């Protein structure tokens, strides 16, 4: 298929954008095709020279986050083309290659955060409010997961959360543990404007993503492509956290509290 061209079509939130871009990159590698990523990603990241920006060339558009992982033969070709031991390793390798070097600075953070926590407590299905990312509410939030964060965190701490309730609850637990150097997303951006349909808001979200990615200790939400993509793009001391009290859908994974992140178990599979 030499001479073919595949192009990523971005939709939904920033984490999904990055996962989609990686999926399309793996399709390109598996089929020896030219990879085209949207101009916005070229503005935000130092991408490899082989990755092209849209220039009017005819390409196959792909928007599926499982474009390679749905087919065994494609997975095998992608791993072989990238000289990776497995498809999971090929996907992680591609994340690092594409997104390890953001062009966007980590904003004007008041301190250098050693720990960053991302709490995704409400799914898009349950909350359709995208004007203020912290305006959604959820009545159930497991303390054990948050207590695990407090035990392993190293201040200063940055908390990113989709609900004010979750952020406030974690701050109270830090306070009880005599940890005072705790900040939230408002220290970096205006957290009231994060519409997933706005490129300006996506830029704001990238500032948060970059601050999260740059921390020495990171706690990713196990159900969030936003934080899992940051773990894949750069290595640090990483955990995944599950604040759910119940499974929202029968296909959801089993409940847990928090644990050291595993590439094959937690990050590469959606």
- pLDDT computed for residue 195 by the predictor: 46
- Residue limits of CATH 3.40.50 in the chain: 115-267
What is the SS3 string spanning 172-200? HHHHHCCCCCEEEHHHCCCCCCCCCCCHH
Q: What is the pTM of this model?
A: 0.89
Q: pLDDT tens digits, residue range 85-138? A: 999 999 999 999 999 999 876 555 677 899 999 988 765 555 554 455 556 665
CATH class given for the domain over 115-267: alpha beta
- Alpha helices by DSSP H, listed for the chain, are 14-31, 39-44, 72-81, 87-99, 143-152, 164-176, 199-213, 225-233
- pLDDT computed for residue 174 by the predictor: 97
- pLDDT computed for residue 57 by the predictor: 80
- pLDDT computed for residue 189 by the predictor: 82
Closest CA relative to residue 166, chosen from 200, 194, 191? 191
- Burial of 131 from C-beta contacts in 10 A (0-12 / 13-18 / 19+): exposed
| In the chain, % of residues over pLDDT 90 | 56
């Amino acid at each position: 298929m030499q001479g073919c061209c595949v192009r990523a079509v971005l939709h939904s939130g920033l984490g999904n954008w990055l996962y989609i871009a990686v999926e399309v990159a793996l399709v390109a590698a598996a089929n020896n095709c030219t990879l085209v990523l949207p101009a916005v990603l070229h503005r935000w990241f130092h991408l490899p020279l082989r990755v092209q920006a849209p220039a009017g060339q005819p390409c196959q558009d792909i928007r599926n986050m499982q474009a390679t992982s749905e087919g065994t033969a494609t997975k095998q070709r992608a791993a072989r083309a990238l000289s990776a031991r497995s498809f999971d390793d090929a996907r992680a390798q591609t994340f690092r290659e594409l997104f390890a070097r953001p062009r966007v600075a980590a904003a004007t953070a008041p301190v250098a955060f050693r720990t960053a926590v991302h709490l995704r407590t409400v799914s898009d299905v349950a909350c359709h409010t995208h004007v203020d990312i912290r305006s959604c509410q959820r009545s159930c939030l497991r303390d054990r997961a948050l207590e695990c964060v407090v035990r392993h965190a190293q201040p200063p701490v940055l908390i990113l959360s989709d609900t004010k309730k979750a952020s406030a609850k974690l701050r109270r637990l830090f306070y009880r543990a005599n940890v005072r150097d705790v900040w939230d997303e408002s220290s970096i951006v205006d957290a009231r404007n994060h519409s997933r349909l706005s490129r300006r808001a996506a830029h704001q979200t990238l500032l948060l993503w970059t601050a999260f990615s740059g921390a020495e200790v990171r706690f990713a939400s196990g159900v969030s492509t936003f934080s899992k993509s940051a773990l894949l793009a750069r290595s640090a001391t990483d955990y995944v956290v599950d604040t759910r009290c119940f499974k929202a859908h029968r296909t959801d994974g089993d409940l847990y509290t928090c644990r050291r992140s595993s590439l094959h178990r937690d990050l590469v599979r959606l």
